[in-house]
Amino acid sequence: MARCQRFYVRGGSWGRAGADIEIGFYRGDHGDGFNFEFDGKFRILAHAFPPENGYFHYDADESWSVNPKGDTEVDLESVAVHEFGHLLGLGHSLDQSAIMFSEISYGVIKRICNLTIFKGYKPCTLKSGQW
């Protein structure tokens, strides 16, 4: 049986204290305790880990855009959808068209989740302030 993921969402504060998810832009080895240091432009774009960790880090050296043009900009929102999948506990897909495929090309917009990626995912009953 799939494990239920529950997050507490709180706005208006700065810093990680009490947050289930930390989102930020970082360079190189940024001290998150994993061997996933960023490598400058191209290759490693971001990484995320499900709670109890909850880190969601973008590589600050990439050229991020919500409307990427050409082959030098990365779609911030496409990568966010992918990384939020990891925050929910999803792994990579072997389907190259899937949002959870392990790679995305520069200039590509891929923001739609195929609901089959959630097969076996157990939704939670949420209280106010949770999602």
Task: Could you list the residues known to form a binding site for Ca(2+), using ranges.
Answer: 20, 39-40, 59, 62
Q: Give the residue numbers of the binding site.
A: 20, 30, 32, 39-40, 47, 57, 59, 62, 82, 86, 92, 100
Q: Give the residue numbers of the binding site for Zn(2+).
A: 30, 32, 47, 57, 82, 86, 92, 100
Q: Report which secondary-structure segment, H or E, holds 24.
A: strand 22-26
Say if CB 47 and CB 83 are below 8 A apart. Answer: yes
Give the span between the Cα atoms of 4 and 57, in whole angstroms.
23
Give the span between the Cα atoms of 77 and 64, in whole angstroms.
9
Told to judge if 83 belongs to the known catalytic residues of this protein, a careful annotator would answer yes
Catalytic pick from 22, 37, 83, 103?
A: 83
Catalytically active residues, by annotation: 83
